[in-house]
Amino acid sequence: MAYAISSARKDLGGFSVSRIIPNQNQCRVGPFVFVDHMGPAEFPAGRGINVRPHPHIGLATISYLMEGNMLHRDSLGTIQEISPGDVNWMTAGKGIVHSERETIETRGKDHVLNGLQCWIALPEDKSDMEPSFLHVNRAQLPYIHREKVLMRLIAGEAYNYTSPVKTYSSMFYLDAITEAGAVVERPCGLSETACYVISGEVKIDSENFKAGQFVILEDEETIETVSNSRYFLLGGKKLEKEPILRWNFVAYSMDKIREAEERWRTGQFPRIPGDDVEFIPLPE
């Protein structure tokens, strides 16, 4: 039977996010080990998001916005603004540093931010790969049109479509807008699957779920739209080995985690060109 898990509000310095997973009742869904709903937040001119440089290892981050703009910078020298519907996919591998800020044009006026930030655990044999960054414009992503259904495949494979976003394990990530009465089948059979309801109301098995609920599907095969809705479907094949998540690091041994912590503490990670003054210190 499907069940919903609760989220916790976390302050990121100037605005808060809903931390959905990891959760005391749910550590991951397929390779997804972290899901944050950023916003929805409204900022007056002169204020905005300002996530200082911080490190990652052993994972890929995927940023996707419904509203607003965000500026990604990283230690590879990437400078890339993301707009609604676009995808920023950053593979940390053996180590990368990035920041999430805004352009002058965005911060110079009243603006909003509303989107999801997800972390994907890399398989153990890919966890030390070279870091990389990929930006994909929304026009390059597959659209899936059905009666009363419009879906965008953000990453992975689903419904015989493949996203151009390079992934390293079996997964899917979809943005769906559906009208009342629409029925959407589970994307990838019995792969671990979650449905995050953004607006409206859906029925899974015999239970209704509303906006803000992150629903874990068990044996259920379909999602029925009760009222016009927007939701995300995400998940994938269960990883062969359970990864360890600690702060911004994912690894398959505590030795690897401690090594990354020491590297950050002693300034051994690469720096972001042009954004190397501030940083987020290692939590005590």
pLDDT tens digits, one per residue of 155-172: 999 999 999 998 999 999
202 close to 195: Cβ distance less than 8 angstroms: yes
Would 226 be classed as within a structural domain? Answer: yes
Q: Answer whether residue 275 is part of any domain.
A: no
pTM > 0.85: yes or no = yes
- Identify the bridge partners of residue 162 per DSSP, sorted by sequence position: 157
Is the peptide bond prior to 40 cis by the omega test (within 30 degrees of 0)? yes
CA distances from 134 to 74, 79, 221 (A): 12, 11, 33
The two beta strands, 59-67 and 143-146, are: unpaired
Exposed e or buried b per residue across 22-61, where buried means at least 16 C-beta atoms within 10 angstroms of its C-beta: eeeebebbbbbbbbbbbbebebeeeebbebebbbbbbbbb
CA 193 to chain centre: 15
- Does any domain span residue 213? yes
Note down the domain range covering 53.
Answer: 3-236
CA angle at 129 for the pair 135 and 50, rounded to the nearest 5°: 45
Helix, strand, or coil (residue 161): strand
What's the number of domains the chain is made of?
A: 1
Cα separations in angstroms, 111 against 8, 46, 197, 275: 24, 10, 23, 23
Question: The CATH number of the domain where 115 resides is what?
Answer: 2.60.120.10
Residue 100 resides in a domain: yes
H helical segments located in the chain? 104-107, 254-265
Beta bridge partners of 59: 121
Within-domain flag for 114? yes
Q: Quick check: helix, strand or coil at residue 265?
A: helix
Judged by DSSP in three states, 139 sits in helix
Residue 41 lies in a domain: yes
Assigned domain for 272 exists = no
CB 174 within 8 A of CB 187: yes
Q: What are the backbone angles phi and psi of residue 68, rounded to the nearest 5°?
A: 90, -175
Residue 153 resides in a domain? yes
pLDDT, position 13: 58
Task: Write out the chain's pLDDT in tens, 284 residues.
Answer: 899 998 888 776 567 789 999 988 788 999 999 999 998 999 999 999 999 999 999 999 999 999 999 999 999 999 999 999 999 999 999 999 999 999 999 999 999 999 999 999 999 999 999 999 999 999 999 999 999 999 999 999 999 999 999 899 999 999 999 999 999 999 998 899 999 999 999 999 999 999 999 999 998 899 999 999 999 999 999 988 999 999 999 999 999 999 999 999 999 999 999 999 999 999 98
- Residue 162 CA to residue 128 CA, distance in Å, equals 25
CB neighbours of 120 closer than 8 A, spacing ≥ 6?
31, 32, 33, 59, 60, 61, 62, 167, 168, 169, 171
Q: For residue 8, what are the contacts with CB-CB under 8 A and spacing of at least 6?
A: 18, 19, 23
